[in-house]
């Protein structure tokens, strides 16, 4: 939520920090779901983490590997 708010307020670009904050937030929700498990919420957050990590990877890979 914080990452999305900062993006909407033009305080953050859609880049590495945004993707990292999204992955962190979704990861924390996954951890909280381990105590009060909900399969649909768990799956949604796991995919949110994975998609965010794709964004992190795109920003961290060497520039020569980018098209």
Domain that holds residue 43: 2-62
Please state, in angstroms and rounded to a whole number, the distance separating the CA atoms of residues 43 and 41: 6
Name the band, by pLDDT with cuts 50, 70 and 90, for residue 49. Answer: very high
The residue count of the chain comes to 67
Please state, in angstroms and rounded to a whole number, the distance separating the CA atoms of residues 41 and 29: 9
The answer to whether position 48 is within a domain reads yes
The answer to whether position 67 is within a domain reads no
In this prediction, residues 7-36 reach a mean pLDDT of: 90
Please state, in angstroms and rounded to a whole number, the distance separating the CA atoms of residues 38 and 35: 9
**Of 51, 53, 42, 45, which is closest to residue 26 (Cα–Cα)?**
45
The answer to whether position 36 is within a domain reads yes
Please count the structural domains in the chain.
Answer: 1
So what's the pLDDT on residue 65? 57
Instruction: State yes or no: pLDDT of 47 exceeds 90.
Output: yes
The answer to whether position 18 is within a domain reads yes
So what's the pLDDT on residue 10? 83
| pLDDT tens for each residue of 2-17 | 888 888 888 888 788 8
């Amino acid at each position: 939520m914080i990452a999305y708010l900062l993006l909407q307020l033009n305080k953050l670009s859609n880049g590495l920090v945004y993707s990292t904050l999204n992955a962190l937030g979704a990861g924390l929700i996954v951890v909280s779901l381990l105590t009060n498990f909900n399969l649909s919420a768990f799956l949604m957050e796991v995919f949110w983490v994975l998609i965010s990590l794709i964004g992190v990877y795109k920003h961290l890979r060497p520039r020569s590997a980018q098209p």
